[in-house]
Amino acid sequence: MKAMLLRIGIDKGTDRALGPIFNNRSFEYIPLSEKDVTTKEQKTFGNTKGQNGVYLSKYLPERIKNRKLHFDPEFETYTYGDQTVKRNYLLKLEKGDFLVFYAGLTPYKTNAHEEGLYIIGYFQVDTIVDFNCMNTSQKRALCELYKNNAHIKFNGLEDLVIIKGRKETSKLLDKSILISKKKLNIIGRKYYVVSPELEELLGISGSIQRSIPPRFVRGIHMKNLIQMLDLNL
């Protein structure tokens, strides 16, 4: 068993914003905005409510209120998809492995926590689907089966890989888990690396500012990850 850590959610590179973290370490998962103009998605930051029952736009700049959402991963039917170079890493996963999601969060009406990168949820892998290996009728059936996934909602299935999580062992967390430490590059711009505590616990290191390359947790470090996520396996 192994785990892959992957960054998700709204970020400053795409929408110049981060999701909120609250005083008790709870948070709001806010997805990226959708760049594909062919999407059939109708949800926007302004018309979609989060876990707290308020519109996501409450936490975001007014200028992005009407952007459509790229809701991936989604935690209703537990799917995550990708058609970029990340597909090659997703195909390294096996049934029973974990896909662990982290996101950038910023304090909202609190000074109890720092802006940084936090684990917010996970899937235990149930199914891995490579659309490049499917015929037309299979693709049609899979599009219906995984219709909640953002990639199914726009034209083009080339290179698409979808991970389906087991419902019983996949979850959007109630409380976020800080995994980063801030560093400054040579021009004084901040970026995030794995915190020293997490280096020791999970056996990973270096920058986690971006999803590529994703970090893998293996061997004896998986036990620490399982305890951290409070998994009852």
pLDDT (mean) for 112-123: 95
pLDDT tens string 4-56:
999 999 999 899 999 999 999 999 999 999 998 889 999 999 999 999 899 99
Task: Specify the pLDDT at position 212.
Answer: 86
Residue 231 has pLDDT above 90, yes or no: no
Residue matched to tokens 């492995």: 97
pLDDT band at residue 200, thresholds of 50, 70 and 90?
very high
- For 77, other C-beta atoms within 10 Å of its C-beta total 14
The pLDDT of residue 185 is 77
The answer to whether 20 and 107 are in contact (CB under 8 A) is yes
Report whether 204 contacts 198 (CB < 8 A): yes
Please state, for a pLDDT cut of 70, what percent of the chain lies above it. 99
Per the listing, tokens 């537990």 go with 78
Mean pLDDT, range 50-63, rounded to an integer: 94
Reply yes or no on whether the pLDDT at 184 is more than 90: no
Is the pLDDT score of 186 beyond 80? Answer: no
> Helix, strand or coil for residue 52?
coil
Comparing 231 with 70, the larger pLDDT belongs to 70
Q: Are 185 and 209 in contact, with CB atoms under 8 Å apart?
A: no
| CB atoms near residue 96 (< 10 Å) | 13
Structure tokens at 84: 């970029």
**According to the model, what pLDDT value does residue 214 have?**
92
Give the domain ranges of the chain: 3-228
pLDDT of residue 189: 80
Average pLDDT score, the chain: 94
Residue 13 Cα distances to 17, 45, 48, angstroms: 8, 17, 22
Q: What SS3 class is residue 194?
A: strand
pLDDT score at 230: 87
Residue 107: cis peptide before it, omega within 30 degrees of 0: no
Residues in the chain: 233
Phi, then psi, of 177 in degrees rounded to 5 = -125, 115
Q: SS3 sequence, 116-157?
A: EEEEEEEEEEEEEEEHHHCCHHHHHHHHHHCCCCHHHHCCCC
**Mean of the pLDDT values across residues 150-171?**
94
- pTM for this model (two decimals): 0.95
Pairing type for strands 190-194 and 161-165 reads: unpaired
Interatomic CA distance for residues 208 and 77, integer angstroms? 27
Take residue 78 and report the two structure tokens written for it: 């537990």
The predicted structure's pLDDT at residue 86: 94
Kindly report, residue by residue over 126-139, the tens digit of the pLDDT. Answer: 999 999 999 999 99
